[in-house]
Structure formats: C-alpha cells, structure tokens
Amino acid sequence: MSFTKLIDENVKLVSDFGAKPISELSELPDFYPFKKGLVYSHRNFDKFYEALKSGQKCAIVSGFNASGTMHLGHKGVFDINLFFQKKYKVPVFIPISDDESYVSGKVDSQESALKNSVRLAREILAYGFDSKRTYITIDQVYTNIYNLAIKLSKKITLSEIRSTYGYPMEENPGLFFYPAVQSAHVLFPIENFGFDYVLVPIGPDEDSHLRICRDVASRFGYEKPSVIHATFMPGIDGEKMSKSRNNTINFTDNEKIIRKKVNKAFSGGAVSVEEHRKHGGYPTRDIACFYLDKYFLDDEQSKDLFAQYKKGTVLSGDVKKMLADKLVNMINSFQENYGRIKQKDFYRCVLRNKESEGFREAVEEVFSTS
C-alpha cells in the first residue's frame, strides 16, 4: 500500500495549473505542517509571508462546508491557521458555506444548513481559535456578503464557470453564482476591513475556486490572494478521506469509537506477530505510523519509531495503541472545550447584519446540548 497516489491532484496543480512546489521556497515557517510535508504547493505564499513579517496588514481566510463536522483531516490546516493567529496575531476569517451546502444538495434544507453552521462555529472556537481575532460568516446570517458577490460577479463570465466546473445548463443557477460568493468570502477582508494581503489554506480539490478568485481580484485591482495547498490525507483504510467511506476520525467520536476505528486502520505489519518480530514491518505503509509521524511526533521520535517497526521490536498493535491514546486525549480535550463555549463567545465572533429567521432558535438548540 502506498499513499503517493493521494498527492496526484497536488502534482497536477503544479504541472497543469501553474502552482509552485512549496519545497522551492527558501524560507518557511518553523511549524510542523511545513516541515512534515503536509503543505505541498502554493501560489505567492512567499509574498504573503514577507508582507506578514514586514508588518503589513495580513489576514487568513479558511472556509468550511456546512454539511460536515471537524475530523482529523482538518487538523493540519486548522493548526496552520492557529499558528499564524497566535504567533503573528493574524485575524482568521472563516466562512461557513451554508448556501453552497444547500444549492449543491449536501444538506436537505436551509434550516439544516443553518443549524450545522452554528454547531461548526462552536467547534471552531472549541478547537482553540481566539474569538476576538476570529470572524465567522454564515451567509444566511451575514447576508451583506452577497453585496460583494454581486459586485464581483460582473467580471466573472458564465463560460469561465462552465469551463472550470463543467456544470451542465440543466444545473440550478445557485451553483453558477456560487463562485462569485466564494470570491467574496476570500476578498472580504480586503474590501471590508482594509487588509493588504490574504492567505487561503485549502485542499487541492478547492483550487478551482481560488483560480477564479485570483483572476477576479486582479480585474478589480485587489492584491491576489495567496494560497497554500494541503496534501490529501489518507483515511484509516489508506484511501482518500471521505464521509461516504466512513474512514475519518471525527472530533465528535467517543473513546470507544476512536479505538475501534484505529484498530481497523490499514497496517504495515507482517501477517502474524511471529513474522513481524522475525522480519519486521513496513512503517511507510502503516496508517497509524503515518498519523503519528505527521501529527504527533518530532523527526527524531518518528525516526526511532520507524526503525523499531522495521526491526520488529514494535508491533502494529503497539503503534495503533499509541495513536489511539493520543487521539483520545486530543479529542477528549476538544469535547471538554466544546462544552465550555458560551453563547457570548459565539456572538462575539459571528458576523451578522440581521437576525435571519430561525437563527436564534438554531443557536439556542445547539447550545442547549453539551
């Protein structure tokens, strides 16, 4: 089993769409996603980083879809956002795309999208974001975002959208308009708050949004947003993480579920304990080793673990227990934080220009549960 196929889309961004390998930059933040290969490529990250260090006004935009929940695959990007927020006091803007979730059919109603958005906002704060430096937009609630989207839409053509996304003419018009809304999310800190530079950390499958947004930005005289592309993380089965495959570790999972999932994770061990102790295993094929290396261990710890695994002194079950213990501690802490987030924290960071129908009710419902 090899995880290299999961970076095919990252490679295509460099070979086919003009992104640059992050490894070519001479200076990167001293932080694990950049050191562990969790960031593959970029668009003008060097320009953003230089502006940030020189004291110019910089912000991060990091969106979330209202149809899901936080899971282990989000950790790298969210930790990058927190790194810049804590080290450089960078404001983080988090649009939760409840409108896209609805028009694309990912949720069955606008009411569901709104409730999911409120829950996600609470999860974001529970992860450790500073409510005084975090700005969350839920489009049903902060409808002002559509004013900027209307402005930007005038310089986006239908042919651009169709060639980028391949939508047939039979598709609903909400999807055709959403690239303008997505661009509004990204350029909002520049337009409404006067920031000079914006960084957008994304997965490679989201780059099409940013290609349109960067083109639109230049047409209106904005600084093009900088982009970093996270690498795709494998699910516990070694395949691409997907809600439909149920191969994620969710931040809502309890200890029993976490340990059960980890125990089923794809292994690089031998067919039996005896064979493993005799011949060793393949840590580069082992999901537990992969997660431990990328998320929890420093380089020396990873090197030592991999060496012991290859020699057979550490078994697949050992690394699974090690990973499960770390995940349980991390997720238990997150869930405790979730219970401590108050409505006042939520209202401090969620932008709103009107109380949309059902908004107060959705907040009351989400915060009535621990």
* Per-residue model confidence as pLDDT tens digits over 37-83: 999 999 999 999 999 999 999 999 999 999 888 999 999 999 999 99
pTM: 0.93
pLDDT over 90 at 354, yes or no? no
CATH of domain 244-338: 1.10.240.10
The Cα–Cα gap between 156 and 62 comes to 22
61-72 burial, b if ≥16 CB within 10 A, otherwise e? Answer: bbbbbbbbbbbb
Domain ranges of the chain: 4-236, 244-338
> Is it the case that residue 2 has pLDDT exceeding 70?
no
pLDDT of residue 292: 98
pLDDT, mean over the chain: 93
pLDDT, average across residues 301-323: 96
pLDDT value at residue 352? 87
pLDDT at residue 6 greater than cutoff 80: no
Task: Answer yes or no: is pLDDT of 366 > 80.
Answer: yes
Phi, psi of 135 (to 5 degrees): -125, 110
The answer to whether 84 and 61 are in contact (CB under 8 A) is no
pLDDT one-digit tens code per residue, 161-210? 999 999 999 999 999 999 999 999 999 999 999 999 999 999 998 999 99
Counting residues of the chain whose pLDDT is more than 90, the rounded percentage is 86
Size of the chain in residues = 370
Q: pLDDT-based confidence at 8, cuts 50/70/90?
A: confident
Which residues fall within 8 angstroms of residue 370, CB to CB, at 6 or more apart?
A: 338, 339
Asked if the model's pLDDT at residue 1 lies above 50, the reply is no
Q: What pLDDT sits at residue 355? A: 63
How far is it, in rounded angstroms, from Cα 91 to Cα 241? Answer: 29
pLDDT digits (tens, 9 = 90+) for 101-129: 999 999 999 999 999 999 999 999 999 99
* 311-327 core/surface letters (b: 16 or more CB in 10 A; e: else): ebebbbeebbebbbebb
Using an 8 Å Cβ cutoff, are 24 and 44 in contact? no
Which CATH number does 4-236 carry? 3.40.50.620
pLDDT of 360 reads 83
CA distance 175 to 179: 8
Long-range contacts of 146-149 (CB under 8 A, 24+ apart): 146/181, 146/184, 148/184, 148/187, 148/188, 148/191, 148/192, 149/177, 149/180, 149/181, 149/183, 149/184
Average pLDDT over residues 214-225: 97
What sign results for the dihedral spanned by CA atoms 81, 133, 47, 17?
positive
Confidence of residue 4 (pLDDT cuts 50, 70, 90): low
